[in-house]
Amino acid sequence: MDIKYPETKKVDVVDTIFGTRVPDPYRWLEDLRSSEVQAWIKKQNKLTMKVLRSIPVWKTLLKEFENLSRTTTVHYIFPVKNRYFFMKKEGLKNHPVLYYVDGKPDVSKGKVVVDPNKFSRSGLVSLDWYRVSRDGKYIAFGKSEGGTENSTLYVKEIDTGKMLPDTIPNTKWASLVWTPDNSGFYYSRNTSREKYLPHIYFHKLGEPYEKDKYIFGEGLSETEIPDVSASSDREYLFINVSHGWIKNDVYFRSMNSSGGFTPLFVGKNGLFDVNHLDGHFIVLTTYNAPKGRILSIPVDSIDEEHWKEIIPEKDFVIEYFRILGKRIVLIVKKDTYTKLLVYKPDGEFIGEIPLPGKGVAGVSGEWDNPVVIVRYQSILQPPIIFTYNLDTGERHVIWEMETGDFNPEEYEQKLVFYKSKDSTSIPMFIVHKKGIKLDGSNPVLLTGYGGFSVGISPYFMRNLVPLLKRRIVFAYPGIRGGDEYGEEWHRDGMLSKKQNVFDDFIAAGEYLIDKGYT
């Protein structure tokens, strides 16, 4: 096919940055509201559709993609007392719907809590975030229009569906903690129109937000972002102040206190995620441990000399942790895939929550209940949700995604390691139909990222199914710049070391050629 691309003009725009002239001839394309830019986009889209429609199997592929997009998806299920909440997206609806069910986590019997599809006819108003009260009676949620995420907060009584009069603007990316008695909640609210400068407030239900009590945030710079959280047992309230991606400060006070906050971690060069169990703060930190370690700190003796390392840094990255069934559950990344590791409160290793293979998993539950809920998936394994009893090891499947005639047993998923230009070992998943010939004749889809500490994860990509069926090989390398091996891996792909990202990606292609995949 003879492809003639729309003409793209160049303009004479040059920036001088630290004495270096940097031409930017396509600056004009940044103005999406310009009629000229919109006309250019229409021409590009017209060409794209012309090329796609020329593919002999285009209509068949389109039908397969549409059928896959109709697949029902259930996101993580989380319990609140004896009530289970979950998001479920069905058919071609624009947005997933938030449901709840009482007694057992049966997703087929859910009752609607919030349906964003009914927010507007256009479908452009979305549910940005939500927080359920600890007894499952109320929900606070934020919604916004047109993808702005500049939320307005609303409160709803779950059993009756009644909307309360409480409405709070400027709650973009809000954090929120309900009080144990449901009298109100602590939350973050943006205080600037031009920038994101949130402060922490307390809102009493039924009162206008203008009367909300200021709690924290004055005097912070625009790079210091506060949020509010609580321990799983609701004994302590925490204020976290983020300083970019790699460090934060933490302050605490008793949930029942009305006094000031005590500094727990301030000025330390690392990230700190804090919970509480049996009189000790349980802390995940990258302080002196880029891949993460777990500390135990007595609540009444918080000076550094009293910190006890109960789980040292190891050869995996601790992504986050949960207090579940009065145990410490680590969600770790090992060579890009997830492991769920269970420890006693003193750091003694108990064992793993068994997973079906090398994939991605998350876990939810309650701090004092041994029955947890696991959601697992891999590149070939559609998402599955099951309960797991930490006491007995009993496992019960709640839900599995249906994917029509796709049979994972007909395909192969491999994790390989190859050498980059500087001999660094890079992980890569390779997925393909079983029985392919490694004679260099296979088409390959190779994709990676390599930035902002966003690493790859072997999650189920349903839109790969039509490609895999047609013997296309999928390759997914964990190049530097992501979080595959912690903060050092991230830093090895940024600033003066950015070239590593491209070297890693090029080496992935060379490996695929050398091994005969393509």
163-194: pLDDT as tens digits: 999 999 999 999 999 999 999 999 999 999 88
Looking at the DSSP assignment, which residues form a beta bridge with residue 242? 225, 248
Are 445 and 486 in the same domain? yes
pLDDT at 246: 86
Is the CB of residue 374 less than 8 Å from the CB of residue 353? yes
Residues 6 and 85 occupy one common structural domain:
no
- Whether residue 500 lies inside any domain: the answer is yes
183 within domain boundaries: yes
Q: 3-state class of 376 per DSSP?
A: strand
Question: Do 50 and 86 sit in the same domain of this protein?
Answer: no
79 and 200 in a single domain? The answer is: yes
CA torsion through residues 199, 204, 206, 208, sign:
negative
For the segment 98-113, the average pLDDT, to the nearest whole number, is 96
Instruction: With respect to residue 385, please indicate whether it lies within any of the assigned structural domains.
Output: no
* Same domain membership, residue 83 and residue 201: yes
Nearest to 360 by CA among 341, 388, 379: 379
Confidence (pLDDT) at 255: 96
86 and 118 belong to one structural domain: yes
Residue 92 has pLDDT above 90, yes or no: no
120: in domain: yes
Domain termination site, one of 196, 217, 238: 217
The reply to whether 178 falls in a domain is yes
Q: 104 in a domain, yes or no?
A: yes
Q: How far is CA 493 from CA 236, 315, 423, 449, 452, in A?
A: 38, 20, 15, 10, 9
**Structure-derived torsion over alpha carbons of residues 474, 87, 94, 453, reported in degrees to the nearest 10:** -50
Domain boundary among 217, 249, 264: 217
CA atoms within 13 A on the CB side of 295: 25
For residue 126, give the H/E element and its range. Answer: strand 125-132
- pLDDT, residue 404, reads 86
CATH of the domain at 430: 3.40.50.1820
On average, the pLDDT of the chain sits at 96
| Domain presence at residue 4 | yes
Regarding whether 77 and 28 lie in a shared domain, the answer is no
Cα 512–chain centre separation: 30
Residue pair 283/297 in contact by the 8 Å Cβ criterion: yes
Q: How far apart are the first and last CA of the chain?
A: 23
- Containing structural domain, residue 486: 408-514
Is the pTM for the entire model greater than 0.75? yes
- Per-residue pLDDT of 115-139, as tens digits, reads 999 999 999 999 999 999 999 999 9
Q: Assess whether 129 and 28 both reside in one domain.
A: no
139 with 168, same domain: the answer is yes
Two structure tokens written together for 158: 């779950």
Q: Are residues 47 and 157 in the same domain?
A: no
The fraction of the chain above a pLDDT of 70, given in percent, is 100
107 and 204 housed in the same domain: yes
Q: Give the pLDDT band of residue 261 (cuts 50, 70, 90).
A: very high
Number of domains in the chain: 3
Name 351's bridge partners. Answer: 342
In a domain, 444, yes or no: yes
Residue type, 159: D
Res 152 pLDDT > 90? yes
* Same domain for 100 and 22: no
Predicted pLDDT of residue 10: 97
